[in-house]
Homo-oligomer: A and B are copies of this chain.
Amino acid sequence: MASPTLISLDAMGGDHGPSVVVGGVKDYLSRHDGEGVRFLLHGDEAAIRAEMARCALTDAVCDVRHTDKVVAMDEKPAQAMRRGKGSSLWNAIEAVKTGEAAAAVSAGNTGALMAISKLLLRMAAPGLERPAIVASWPTTRGYTAVLDVGANIGSDAKQLIEFAIMGEAFQSAVHGVAKPTVGLLNVGSEDMKGHDEVREAHAILREGGIPLNYHGFVEGDDIAKGTVDVVVTDGFTGNIALKTAEGTARFISGLLKEALTSGPIAKLGALIAMPALKRMAARIDPNAINGGPLLGLNGIVVKSHGGATPRGYGNAIRIAVDLARSDYMAKVGANLGRLAALEQPAPAAETLGETHQ
């Protein structure tokens, strides 16, 4: 029998702590084949065991590691790095570092999680300052991976290509897309559009030195259309695009709610159409797509939303398991190696260049 996949959980992170984390384990096991998956839960043992009892989970599935130290949701990253050692968040990541666990999940403080993950695991993608965050964006054709949505402001061409490599491997591992197509987010599709960084990344990706299924430039409205499987952009633009889309979705949902409660006749219509409207709402439910991996680290770390439900946390666990059991890390490593090789021209080529100058 293959050794089990061990997932390390920060049981104290998030707005609701162990109730959602343990509830998330239960949700995961109810929806997926849990064969060969075990969990390491870091945090207050009594609180965790109480939730395990409520969810009828035993030590056969959950291994509890007590600590009473917790990183607060509002703690500054620098402070969390200095004082966080031994906390549930720290220990969850450390289990990945030592190789005991295959992946970690935390719904804790994002800044602290980034900082501690980077400190303990180190970056594997040398161009990145911080781990990149990928969003699974619902589209007419399924899910598109969009990255970076928040961590790296002002990305150069090398960073953008690192995002492309990691996003492609993520999409294939988590959403099961065999040869994901990759697009670079820009303001038009012609080669001369956009700023230097996107044009340079575009030129390198088109060359074909890195084996990606590169589509070319895409525009903002291509994201929801599902034109490509992976959309690559810098963290500034990606964060603004994601929050703008969330704001737009909330605005339209609000208008719809307002319209369907605007009078007795509208309410009657809404009541009759309710099952169909509920199925529609499920398509864009944030809990169905919860779980953003921090990409670019030497190890798998998945961030759950702090306010996620057990269903949402269960989905973050699924993403961690899928990444851990796939060839994600190997594929990213191989392609980052190809990128590094592209940057160091072979000695022969250099000599040739000198001769001609």
By a beta-carbon cutoff of 8 Å, the part of chain A in contact with chain B is 138-140, 150, 153-154, 185, 187, 194-195, 219-225, 233, 235-237, 239-256, 258-260, 262-263, 265-266, 268-277, 279-280, 283-284
Give min CB distance, A291 to chain B, whole Å: 20
User: Given the complex of chains A and B, what is the CA–CA distance between A277 and B273 in angstroms?
Assistant: 13
A242 touches B258 (CB 8 A): no
Query: Quick check: B283 and A276 within 8 Å, CB to CB?
Result: no
Whether the Cβ atoms of A224 and B240 lie closer than 8 Å is no
A280 CB to nearest chain B CB (Å): 4
Q: Which of B233, B254, B259, B273 contacts A259 (CB 8 A)?
A: B273
Is the CB–CB distance between B269 and A240 below 8 Å? no
Specify which of A139, A252, A259, A274 lies most central, judged by the most chain B CB atoms within 10 Å of its CB: A252
B241 touches A241 (CB 8 A): yes
Are A259 and B276 neighbours in the complex by a CB distance under 8 Å? Answer: yes
Instruction: Offer 16 A-B interface pairs, CB within 8 angstroms, sorted by A.
Output: A153-B194, A219-B240, A220-B239, A220-B243, A220-B246, A221-B246, A240-B240, A240-B241, A241-B241, A255-B284, A259-B277, A262-B279, A263-B276, A268-B269, A269-B269, A269-B270
Residues of B within 8 A of A253 (CB): 252
Q: Taking A140-B251, A187-B235, A259-B279 as contacts, is the C-beta distance between A241 and B266 under 8 angstroms?
A: no
Decide if B252 touches A225 in the complex (CB within 8 Å). no
Complex Cα spacing A23 to B311, Å: 54
When the two chains form their complex, are residues A259 and B243 in contact, meaning their CB atoms are under 8 A apart?
no
A134 to B16, CA, bound (A): 42
Q: Are A244 and B241 in contact (CB under 8 A)?
A: yes
In the complex, A236 Cα to B138 Cα: how many Å? 23
**Distance of A127 from chain B, by nearest CB (Å):** 17
Most chain B CB atoms below 10 A, which of A247, A279, A284: A247
Which chain B positions have C-beta within 8 A of A233?
240
Min CB–CB distance A206 → chain B (angstroms)? 20
- Contacting pair B236 A187 (CB below 8 A): yes
Q: Are A247 and B273 closer than 8 Å at their CB atoms?
A: no
Asked if residues A251 and B139 are in contact (CB atoms below 8 Å), the reply is: yes
Taken together as a complex, chains A and B put the C-alpha atoms of A274 and B272 apart, in Å, by 13
Question: In the complex, which residues of chain B have a beta carbon less than 8 angstroms from the beta carbon of A248?
Answer: 224, 244-245, 248-249, 252
> A251-B140, A259-B277 in contact; A236/B268 too (CB < 8 A)?
no
Q: Which of A250, A265, A266, A279 has the most CB of B within 10 A?
A: A266
Please state if A154 and B272 are interface contacts (CB–CB under 8 Å): no
Identify A220's interface contact among B154, B240, B252, B271, CB under 8 A.
B240
Which residue on chain B has the smallest CB distance to residue A243?
B220
Contacts of A276 in B (CB 8 A): 259-260, 262-263, 265-266, 269
A228 to B: closest C-beta gap in Å:
13
A243–B187 Cα gap in the complex (Å)? 9
In the complex, the chain B residue whose C-beta lies closest to that of A244 is: B220
Q: In the complex, which residues of chain B have a beta carbon less than 8 angstroms from the beta carbon of A246?
A: 220-221
- Shortest A322–chain B CB gap in Å is 25
